[in-house]
Every structure is written in structure tokens, then in C-alpha cells.
A and B are shown apart, each in its own frame.
Chain A
Amino acid sequence: MQYHRPTSFNEAAALANQATGETRFLAGGTDVLVQLRADIVTPDTLIDIKSIPGVGDISQAPDGSWTIGIAVPGAEMREHVQLGQDWPGLVEAMDLIGSTQVQGRATLVGNLCNGSPAADSVPAMVAAGVELSVTGPTGNRRIAAVDVPVAPGRTSLAKGEVVSAVHVPARGTNAGDAYLRFIPRTEMDIAVVGCAVNLSLDTEGTVTAARVALGAVAPTVLLVEDAANALIGSSLDDKALDRLASAASAACNPISDKRGTVEFRTHVAGVLAKRTAKIAYARAQGENT
């Protein structure tokens, strides 16, 4: 295994482009090192991207949008008061990953690019409409988070491409997001189902826009349009919530495995969708939940 510590994204992309065999970027390492230790993947080339200037920064633009460096660990997102006020769901989703110790290292982009269908921050990023800057051997591009995972363990990034920044939209008014997951314990489990809801209201409390994303119920994260439509135009009455639950369950295409059965996942997706929507709605109304 070759270990590299580039100081620019162009250098990182060039290293990855020239490498042969298995290549991994090292952000927090909480997936890469586990896979190394468990003999699942021993990269031939490991590119540590934490020495690139700026990768540890969180900044807000004048328009209210946010840029999060690709090496910012969950713990630092949690400690950033303003980010947490704007995007509590996204921050919580990231915070649910692993233990305090894992939080000291794990990153959003690592969670996304590892490609696990159960990754916690991914539904929250998708619901929030997060986009990513990507540096490649031939230049830069911007891509929506929802378009990154293509199959379990696989992303749409081409050889030599490295994510160089995370862009979170401006929060806007009367809007809120939330993320909930189901796990059998209280901590230290991989999601059996995850659900993120991001919505905006008009001044009457009617939902004007919504995005609902589900994790761990299909080979990749799902952005469920029917579920969003169930909410839009409602003020989250019981009927709307039931429609939401049905749409969420209907969208599921899960597997039965050691973590849960098809039946269980499908049912719980509906339950979580309702619970998550209620929190997001309360937040959009300015409640501190």
C-alpha cells in the first residue's frame, strides 16, 4: 500500500488518475480502515486528503448557503451552532454516525462515497439538496448528492475524481429539515431504515415544497416524489401523514438481511416518515425541536 499526502485537489486527482489497482481517498478513515483491518479492501494507493488547505473549514456565503470542507468531521459540524440552527436534520444525521470517537473523524463525503445504502447522512443531504464540487484529471464539475451513489459500494465518480467541497443551500424562511433512523439499540448500529424530510411552509402553515429521502430500503438512497407530494399542499393533517406513510412504504425495495426483514423495513419506513415529517414541520414553524 502506497500512502500519499497531497496538498492540493489537483495533485490528489492526478495521483488517483495515475494509480493502478485499488485506490482510496483517506478522509476520516472510519470506513477505509475498517475495510483494511477486516481484509475487505486493502488499497494499493491511499491518498490522505486532509493536508489540503481549507478542507477543515465551514463557511457561509452572503446568500446564506454553506460550504463544508471535505475533511470536517461530524463533531465539528455538531459544534457549529449556526449550521445546526439552519440544518438541524443534516447535522443530526451526521451526528448519528457511530460513537463520539467515530464522530471525531467521520466525514459527510466519506459517508456518501463509501456507497452504503444505509449511510445516515446521505438521505439528509439528498433531502437538503446538497451539491458537491468534484475535481478530476480534466477539470472541475458540480454534482447533486443524489446522483453520487449508483449501487451498493459504487459511485458515479470517475477514475481520478475527488470531491473537493460540499455545498448546502441557503435555508430560506419557514423551512426545516429532520432525519430519523431506526436501529435496535440506542447507538452504535447501522440504520435498518433512515428517513429525511426537508420542507418549506407558507405563512399559513401549508407545505409549499418538500423533499423526502429514504435510506437502507433500496440499493441506493431514494428521493421519494410521491411522499413529497403527499405533504405538499397540506398542513400535515392525519390524512396527509397517512398518505406520506403509504408512499414511503410503497417506494421501498429492500432486502431481508441480518439487520431487518423486507416486511419490517417497509413498515418502519412509513412509521419513520410520519415521525420525521412532524419534526421538520415543527422546525419550519420555528419550534426548537
Chain B
Amino acid sequence: MKKIHVTTTVNDDNVEFLCDPRETLLDVLRDRLNLTGAKEGCGTGDCGACSVTVDGRLVCSCLVLGAEAEGKKIATVEGIAKGEELHPLQHKFIEYAALQCGICTPGILVAAKSLLEKNPDPTETEVRYWLAGNLCRCTGYDKIIRAVMDTAADMREAS
């Protein structure tokens, strides 16, 4: 099958790749660009482990075609830390034990970061509904929700 040539930006790097029209953005990130931070938990939009942003909008990369990345700005979990410096959410997740196995963590961090950019002062209910598409089977969400709320509080104080 004829492959499609795509030029795009991932975590501020210019990248080019060839992909089959059926390949998803998640397939491309993982298998062609070696960015395995986004995970496939379901492939059908139900678990959020593959969360990335496309032009700043939070999406499931398993529900975007690789071909659709043309000319877009993609951001993944690999781009959250700036060099050695972790994002406050990343610090807080470690400190609060907000991960057990950690497979959901990349998606949740991408989603939570996107929430705090839109709403720096979310209520517990808002955090829970925003993250409802990010399944975590290990933690019961308690420590995740606390980590997001407390990061938000810290970031408000710092700004």
C-alpha cells in the first residue's frame, strides 16, 4: 500500500515520517518515532493512556491518524519536563505515590497538565470529570486527584 509522507512537529522538534494510511498517530509515535511514552491500553479511545495534545487540544492519539498530523503541533509526555527540570505535576506524582504500576501515568500527566492550563483552580469534581477518560486500575484515583489539586494550589501560589 502506498505510504503517506507527513511533516509535523513533536515536542517542538520538526519530524518527518512515512506511514500507512491506516496507522494511528499512536502507532507512528511509538513505532516510527521511538516515542514510547504514550501507551496503548485499548486502542479505542476508552483508557486515555495514549493521551497527547494536538495544537494544544487534548486527544487520544489512538483516535487520530498519523496522516492527520501533517502541519500540526504534537505534545507528548516526553515533552513535559524541560530538560532536567520536572514539571510540578511530575514532582507531585512521585511525592504523593500517585502511581503504582505507572502505565496510566503518562496519559494522566498529559491530561492533567492540559486541565491546569485551562483551569488553574479546579474543584475536586472538575478534576475527576476531566480525568474520567483516563483509567487507572491500581490507585482508586485518590492520590492522583490529590496530587493534581495540590499541584494546582502550588502553581497558583507560585504565580
The reply to whether chain A is a binding partner of chain B is yes
Interface residues of A (CB under 8 A from B): 1-3, 26, 28-30, 33-34, 36-38, 42, 46, 48, 50, 73, 75, 98-102, 104-105, 186-188
- Could you tell me if B48 and A99 are in contact, using CB atoms closer than 8 angstroms? yes
Within 8 A of A (CB), among B42-61: 43-46, 48, 51, 54, 57-60
Are A34 and B130 neighbours in the complex by a CB distance under 8 Å? no
- Chain A residue with Cβ nearest B135: A188
Please, which residues of chain A bring their CB within 8 A of the CB of B133? Answer: 98-102, 187-188
Among B21, B22, B63, B132, contact of A100 (Cβ-Cβ < 8 Å): B132
- Among all A-B residue pairs, the 5 with the closest Cβ atoms: A99-B133, A187-B132, A3-B21, A104-B59, A104-B57
Contacts of A2 in B (CB 8 A): 21
What residues on B are CB-neighbors of A30 within 8 Å? Answer: 45, 63
- B132 and A105 contacting across the interface, CB-CB below 8 Å: no
Residues of B with C-beta under 8 A to A46: 21
Q: Contacts A98-B133, A100-B132, A101-B133 hold; do A37 and B44 have CB atoms under 8 A apart? A: yes
Give the shortest distance, in Å, between B23 (CB) and chain A (any CB): 10
Q: How far is the CA of A248 from the CA of B78 in the complex (A)?
A: 51
Q: How far is the CA of A188 from the CA of B54 in the complex (A)?
A: 22
Question: How far, in whole Å, are A37 and B60 apart by their CA atoms in the complex?
Answer: 13
- What residues of A have a CB within 8 angstroms of the CB of B129 in the complex? 100, 186-187
Between A and B, 28 residue pairs with Cβ closer than 8 Å are: A3-B4, A3-B65, A3-B67, A26-B68, A29-B68, A30-B45, A33-B65, A34-B63, A36-B22, A37-B62, A46-B21, A75-B57, A98-B133, A99-B60, A99-B132, A100-B58, A100-B114, A100-B129, A100-B132, A101-B111, A101-B133, A102-B45, A102-B60, A102-B63, A105-B63, A187-B132, A188-B46, A188-B133
Across-interface contacts of B48 in A (CB, < 8 A): 99, 101
The CA-CA distance from A42 to B115 in the complex, in Å, is 34
- Chain B, interface size category, equals 20 to 34
Q: Which residues of B contact A188 (CB under 8 A)?
A: 46, 132-133
Contact check, B44 vs A101: say whether CB atoms are below 8 A apart: no
A82→B111 CA distance, assembly (Å): 26
Cα-based distance from A26 to B1 in the complex (angstroms): 20
Which of A2, A26, A30, A42 has the most CB atoms of chain B within a 10 A radius of its CB?
A30
B116 adjacent to chain A (CB < 8 Å): no
Shortest Cβ gap from B17 to chain A (Å) = 15
Determine the distance from Cα of A99 to Cα of B48 in the docked complex, in whole angstroms. Answer: 9
User: Which chain B residues border A98 with CB–CB below 8 Å?
Assistant: 45, 133
> Cβ of A73: which chain B residues have Cβ within 8 Å of it?
57
From B22, B58, B68, A48 is in contact (CB under 8 Å) with: B68
In the assembly, what is the distance between CA of A26 and CA of B51, in Å? 20
Given contacts A38-B44, A99-B45, A102-B60, could you give 16 more A-B pairs where the C-beta distance is less than 8 Å?
A1-B21, A2-B21, A3-B67, A26-B68, A30-B45, A30-B63, A33-B62, A37-B43, A50-B68, A99-B60, A99-B134, A100-B58, A101-B63, A101-B133, A104-B58, A188-B132
A101 adjacent to B65 (CB under 8 Å)? no
Collect the chain A residues with CB atoms within 8 Å of residue B115's CB: 100
C-alpha spacing A188/B48, complex, angstroms: 11
Q: Which residues of B contact A101 (CB under 8 A)?
A: 45, 48, 51, 58-60, 63, 111, 133
Closest partner residue, chain A, to B54 (CB atom): A104
- Restricting to B86-138, which residues have a CB under 8 Å from any CB of A? 111, 114-115, 129-134
CA distance A220 to B123 in the complex (A): 38
Q: Is B145 close to A, CB under 8 A?
A: no
Q: Are A186 and B132 touching (Cβ within 8 A)?
A: yes
CA–CA, A36 to B48, complex, Å?
18
- Chain A residue with minimal CB distance to B61? A101
Chain B positions within 8 Å of A3 at CB level: 4, 21, 65, 67
A182 to chain B, nearest CB (A): 17
Nearest-neighbor residue (CB-CB) of A75 within chain B: B57
Please tell me which one of the listed residues B1, B58, B63, B130 contacts residue A33 in the complex, with CB atoms under 8 A apart: B63
B64 at the binding interface (Cβ < 8 Å): yes
In the assembly, what is the distance between CA of A38 and CA of B63, in Å? 12
Q: Which residue of A lies closest to B56 (CB)?
A: A104
